[in-house]
Structure 1
Amino acid sequence: MKTVRLIGVPTDRNSSFLRGAAGAPAPIRAQLFSSHGNLAAEVGGELGGSIGFHDAGDLPLLEDGGDDAIITASVVAALVAGEAPLLLGGDHAVTFPIVQAIAAHHGPVSILHFDAHPDLYDDFEGNPRSHASPFARIMEAGLATRLVQVGIRTMNDHCRDQAARFGVEVLPMRGFRPDQVPRLSGPVYISIDLDGLDPAFAPGVSHHEPGGLTVREVLDVLAAVEAPVVGADIVEYNPLRDINDMTAVVAAKLVKELAALLSR
């Protein structure tokens, strides 16, 4: 069983609409370790018990061009130590440097991506490193052999063209069932943008997009993953938009379920 290394990535410099996601790691941790619940994962195991768990704290990011190198180095350090990295964003742009480090270690990955948005823009509002663009950067760099996107409900013409260009498998939200998600072969990387969930379950995000996933649907998809999971992230929580810490509680639950998968 691998130990899971939790790494906070407090940055939202590539957000396109609202700032706030840089403040996400601390409230997620607060709910993870709150006495309102426990550290058991539904799929089996308990953080700090049968699931080895190392909270490495937050990275000292400076909100500048050097942050990508800091993020990549933190993932490399986890991998070299034999630990599985689980990162708390932060905006979704952080997924690109994370996957760069993962793919350098494990080879190109299969990616399971939960989101309202495909994040495939070639260049969003003049920023090719926008949080609307990480998967374009990942695919053009050959870091992934397969990209499966779940919960998508904002596909415009440009992103549809990009999905066709990169061979992305998009499972739109309309008519979605968890059993439609294909079985991926390893190594697998999982990226969860919390706005993939319906705002009723996750109001604490910058981009509210109605008609999304339920928490149970996300958990059912995760529980069906059988291939080795080598890294994961949870991104785009904006505590400035949350209500009674609802979204932080959801994110904390996802930390437990992802940690259980990563530790296998």
Structure 2
Amino acid sequence: MPAIRLFGLPTDVNSSFERGAAAGPAAIRAALWSDRGNMASELGPEIGTDIALTDDGDLPLTEDTPSDDVAIRRYLAMVREDGEVPLAVGGDHAVSFPLVEAASTCFGPVNILHFDAHPDLYDDFAGNPRSHASPFARICEAGYAKRLVQVGIRTLNGHCREQAERFGVEIIPMTDFTPDRVPVLDGPLYISIDLDGFDPSAAPGVAHPEPGGLTVREVLAVLHKQTAPIVGADIVELHPGRDVGDVTAILGAKLVRELAALIDRNGTPQTAR
């Protein structure tokens, strides 16, 4: 079974409207290792007992995106060299671009399962092509995505609809949503979870809450039916300053356990190049 490397990306330099996601990794980590809960997943295996997971803490990022991209690539090269699977906690959603880039460099174009209220397909948001509203436009135009399936979208404007058509993105909107509508994807599989994909009642600690979102049970149902080897994953956009009773951080910690168990269950990915 694959070993897993957990690490934080404490940056929100590419956030719009309001910063605060840089504090997300520390909050998720505090909830994960707190005695309030335990290390069990709903799939059965436990971190530390059945699942080999190492927590490397946060990468020493700056507010310079090109430099941070280099630091992330170097770290991921080390993780891949050791044959481990990276599991990142952010940070704003802009970090998904270097994460998916690194996965594609190693495995070829990947299939991406993306949970979010927003499609993050802007060609250029507020003059910033590396905005947290743009990572999947950058990923698609670079050819890193073989297939991109977006779940929970409920803010699709005209520009992003055009972008989705341009890149062949498969959007599963919240209207009449059921987990059965989400396909089981082939590998290599990358999973990206923006916490604002959840309904604000489950995840209030985000900068861009959007009513009418996913429940925790719906997301877990979609995750648990995925069977392909996972080459990387991220959990992003926790804003601890907007959280209520740490419930969003606790949800982030639960997702770490569930993703780790899924990575463990689905087996070791095969390097393509």
Q: Distance in 1 between matches of 2:171 and 2:44?
A: 29
- In the other structure, the counterpart of 2:187 is 186
2:87 is paired with a residue whose SS is strand
Identity of aligned residues (%): 65
1:44 to partner: Cα distance = 2.5
Residue 181 of structure 1 contacts residue 221 of structure 1 at CA under 8 Å; is this kept in 2?
Answer: yes
Instruction: Deviation per CA, 1:197-241: give whole Å up to 9, x if none.
Output: 000000000001000000111111100001111100000000000
TM-score (norm 1): 0.99
1:37 to partner: Cα distance = 1.2
Write the mapping of 1:38-187 to structure 2, written as runs, cut at 5 A. 38-64=38-64, 65-187=66-188
Residue 14 of structure 1 contacts residue 91 of structure 1 at CA under 8 Å; is this kept in 2?
Answer: yes
Unaligned runs of 5+ in 2: 268-273
Q: Distance in 2 between matches of 1:49 and 1:144?
A: 34
Unaligned runs of 5+ in 1: none
1:73 is paired with a residue whose SS is helix
Residue 76 of structure 1 contacts residue 102 of structure 1 at CA under 8 Å; is this kept in 2?
Answer: no
Residue 119 of structure 1 contacts residue 133 of structure 1 at CA under 8 Å; is this kept in 2?
Answer: yes
1:79 to partner: Cα distance = 1.1
* Residue identity in the other structure for 1:126: G
Where in structure 1 do 4 or more consecutive aligned residues deviate above 2 Å?
Answer: none
1:55 is paired with a residue whose SS is strand
Residue 194 of structure 1 contacts residue 202 of structure 1 at CA under 8 Å; is this kept in 2?
Answer: yes
Q: Distance in 2 between matches of 1:77 and 1:43?
A: 29
Q: Distance in 2 between matches of 1:161 and 1:167?
A: 10
- In the other structure, the counterpart of 2:270 is none
- In the other structure, the counterpart of 1:249 is 250
1:50 to partner: Cα distance = 1.0
Q: Structure 1 residues 62-71 or 200-209, which shifts more?
A: 62-71
* Residue identity in the other structure for 1:151: G
User: Does 2:261 correspond to 1:260?
Assistant: yes
Q: Structure 1 residues 99-108 or 73-82, which shifts more?
A: 73-82
- In the other structure, the counterpart of 1:27 is 27
Question: Aligned Cα RMSD in Å?
Answer: 0.7
Q: Distance in 2 between matches of 1:151 and 1:205?
A: 15
2:140 is paired with a residue whose SS is helix
* Residue identity in the other structure for 2:8: G
Q: Distance in 1 between matches of 2:44 and 2:73?
A: 30
Q: Distance in 2 between matches of 1:101 and 1:15?
A: 22
Instruction: Deviation per CA, 1:26-82: give whole Å up to 9, x if none.
Output: 111111111111101111211111110100110000111311111121122111111
Q: Distance in 2 between matches of 1:197 and 1:209?
A: 8
- In the other structure, the counterpart of 2:240 is 239
1:146 is paired with a residue whose SS is strand
* Residue identity in the other structure for 1:139: C
